[in-house]
Amino acid sequence: MQAHWSISPLAHANAPRIRQHIDQKTKPLGALGQLESLALQLALIQGSERLTIRQPTMLVFAADHGIAEAGISIAPSAVTRQMVQNFLAGGAAINCFCRANDMQLQVVDAGMLEPLDDPRLIQQRLGAGTRNLALEPAMRREQAEQGLALGATLARAQVANGCNLLACGEMGIGNTTPAACILAALSGQPVEVCVGRGTGIDDDQYQRKLALVRQALTRLDGKRDPLQLLTEVGGFEIAQITGAILGAAEAGIPVLLDGFIVTSAAMLAVSLAPACRDYLIFSHASDEAGHRLMLAWLDAQPLLQLGLRLGEGSGAALALPLLRAAVAFYNDMASFDSAGVTV
């Protein structure tokens, strides 16, 4: 793994000039709300007079989790692989949303239990699923480091191919549990507010999930080093998403984030390299308990609130039209002077 991530903080000294450009548009001050903040962020990142969105690309990382053996999900781990097959066949929600919004989609095997031989699948397997995080480290440190490196390399490859907006999604039965562990460890919030019901577990499963997260945190004994957290309680897909976020920020492009699991990776990325926070765009507020705590920890204002709790990158794909709208008004909306409008 890289000992140091070379991420350039945004040149916030340029913000007043960009705000003036936005304020001169034919609208009342601040009338476009979050779209104005979004345009400002994109202008700071791109550093050019005209904004562009080129080849927006969704990377969906899939992996399995040892903790799923404890029965804390509504589905068995075999469903991870089945859903990946669904992604490749074009039949999942994320396929529909990417098609609807002209977004490229790539699917990555970060470590499913059973490999899948399909040329459309990017093979970056760190192993056949993680170990049970309640009982032992989820992965070896070298696997965590390799996951960060693979994610970063894949992000850089998208940029080299012409992409200037990356989005991240995930698929992994049981992965709300590692995400809840990361949230609780980094934020210090009580387990009860960090752990949710995932895709709809019953009361008995929820109590078991709470107990397992507490067991994992007891094993951590207060440790908050991000790489150690990833090793102890993370997932192979979370490792690679963390790396993809860092790699995209190094390359100077924004990352459009999905919900609970992807935001746990964002917390790790910001903990490893705080400058990457400038490049993060938060698509929606998930219906999963704890996601709002993550957003608060990251000082993030999500673009949408639709009651989503699907994963797959679905919220990020749905938010893409808002980014396009922000670019369009920034580039093409008339100013008061050019339109001859006096106020």
Q: In Å, what is the CA distance from 3 to each residue of 6, 27, 59, 255, 273?
A: 10, 47, 25, 22, 11
Q: In Å, what is the CA distance from 300 to each residue of 122, 267, 277?
A: 31, 11, 9
What's the CA gap between 67 and 212, in Å, rounded?
A: 8
On whether the CB atoms of residues 212 and 67 are closer than 8 A, the answer is yes
Residue identified by tokens 């994320």 is 94
Is the C-alpha dihedral spanning 138, 173, 119, 168 positive or negative? Answer: negative
Q: Choosing from 170, 250, 288, 312, which is the catalytic residue?
A: 312
CB atoms within 10 A of CB 18: 19
Task: Please say if 145 is a catalytic residue.
Answer: no
Q: Which residues are catalytic?
A: 312
